[in-house]
Structure 1
Amino acid sequence: MKTVIVYNHPYDKSFCHAILESAKNGALQAGYQVDIIDLDRDGFNPVMTGKDLLAFRNHKAVDEQAIAYINRIKEADHLVLIFPIWWELMPAMTKGFIDKVIFPGSTYTYTKSGYGMNTMLTNLKSTTIITTMNTPKLLYKFIFGDAIKKALIRGTLKKSGLKKVKWISFNMVKASSEQSRKKWLHQVEKKFSNKK
């Protein structure tokens, strides 16, 4: 069994990095092979070029790094995305990863009508998104429109055919106590050590 973790944060002392370590440790305790895609360390280029857009139309990815990521995710039983929320959205590298890796002909196909989608990630049993932000949960949901839920979960992952998608949001991180952060990290490690 394999867990692929897609991680995006430029600072290795961040709380996101601590979450990454907790998720990895939990998955290893559960006996999973863990493959970490570190977008920042890889120097991933998130920009969709003209060639990428033509490839999207032709349903054949051309970005070599994106193709390598696609192949790694196709081997996964569980997919995890870890990133901070900046200005109510994901960072550019995460958005670029979505644009270049959730790709027609590679990770999904269209139904006959052209309106629906079927996933090609047939090994995936679940997808978990873990985010950090400094915005209060209710403010993010009701004032800023729950952008991650609407755009990433519903508008991308579920739309492209993924079924079991869960979101863990850690809010008010900057104002949180060290005790709260330790508790959160323990919860993450426990969640992944119990994964089936």
Structure 2
Amino acid sequence: MRVAIIFNHPYEGSYCNAILTAVTKGLQTANHEIDLIHLDKDNFNPVMTSADLKAFRDKKPVDPKVTEYKHRLQKADHLIFIFPIWWELMPAMTKGFIDKVIFPGVAYDYTNKANTRMKPLFEQIKSVTLITTMNTPKMLYKWIFGNAIKKAFMLGTFWKIGYKKRKWISLNMVKMVSDKKRKKWLSDMEIRFAKLN
């Protein structure tokens, strides 16, 4: 299986980077092919310019990085996103990736004249996994902050364009839990992705 990982965290010593290492080891154990899209190292520009908005209307992206990512994602069978949740949402580069790559004519198209129904264009992709870290307790994030990532990312993006198999792995209270627990999470992550099929 070819797995594309979309990663966003600027600090190499972050727990997200440790997760990336664990996920990669698991996928390698299962002999999956990995394509890492590291938004920070790619210096991906998340800003939607007026030219990008015209391109949205015309369904023809103008950012060469978007075109590159399109060709890479067309070969993927599974997507894995890894990023931290900051102020209840994804970092700017991940949001920009959604804005500029999950784009009409690139990642999806409309199936009716009213442009209200969508279908995915990355036809090989069978499933999407999201892995996030945050310091907010799970119940607080769900009931007080309205599960913002689930609504915006899992439903408002990937459910809307037609991906039925979606999984969100939320690691909460990362700074507050013990080092032992953080290590167990990493071990569990490696085992989980060694079983991905």
Deviation of the 1:105 alpha carbon: 0.7
What pairs up with 1:60-139 in 2 under 5 angstroms?
60-112=60-112, 113-139=114-140
How far, CA to CA, are the matches of 2:154 and 2:58 in structure 1?
25
Aligned AA (2:117): G
Q: Show the 5 A alignment for 1:142-161.
A: 142-161=143-162
The residue type paired with residue 4 of structure 2 is: V
- Partner in structure 2 of residue 56 of structure 1: 56
Q: CA separation in 1, counterparts of 2:12 and 2:156?
A: 30
- Paired with 1:78 and 1:189, the residues of 2 have a C-alpha distance of 16
Q: Provide the rounded CA distance (Å) in 2 between the counterparts of 1:125 and 1:108.
A: 14
Partner Cα separation in structure 2 for residue 57 and residue 187 of structure 1: 43
Deviation at 1:98, TM superposition (A): 0.4
Q: Describe the SS at the equivalent of 1:80.
A: strand
Instruction: Give 1:40-51 correspondences, 5 Å limit.
Output: 40-51=40-51
| Structure 1: distance between partners of 2:193 and 2:73 | 18
Q: Name the SS for the 2:88 alignment partner.
A: coil
Distance, in Å, in 2 between the alignment partners of 1:39 and 1:16 is: 13
- How far did residue 186 of structure 1 move? 1.0
Q: Deviations over 1:54-102 (max 9, x none)?
A: 0001111111001111111110011000000000000000000000000
Shift of 1:184: 0.5
Whole-angstrom CA distance in 2 between matches of 1:167 and 1:151:
12
In structure 2, list runs of 5 or more residues that go unmatched. none
C-alpha RMSD over aligned residues: 0.7
Deviations 1:105-162 (A, max 9, x none): 1110101142110001110121100000000000000000100000111001110111
Q: Deviations over 1:25-76 (max 9, x none)?
A: 1111111111111101111100000000000011111110011111111100
Q: Which amino acid aligns with 2:85?
A: I
1:48 and 1:78 mapped to 2: Cα distance? 26
Size of the aligned set, in residue pairs, is 196
The ranges of structure 1 where at least 4 consecutive aligned residues each deviate by more than 6 angstroms after the TM superposition are none
Q: Give the TM-score of the pair, scaled to structure 2.
A: 0.98
After TM superposition, give the deviation of residue 21 of structure 1 in Å.
0.5
CA distance in 2, matches of 1:163, 1:75: 19
Percent sequence identity over aligned pairs: 56
**TM-score, length-normalised on structure 1?**
0.98
Task: Give, in whole Å, the separation in 1 of the partners of 2:163 and 2:60.
Answer: 20
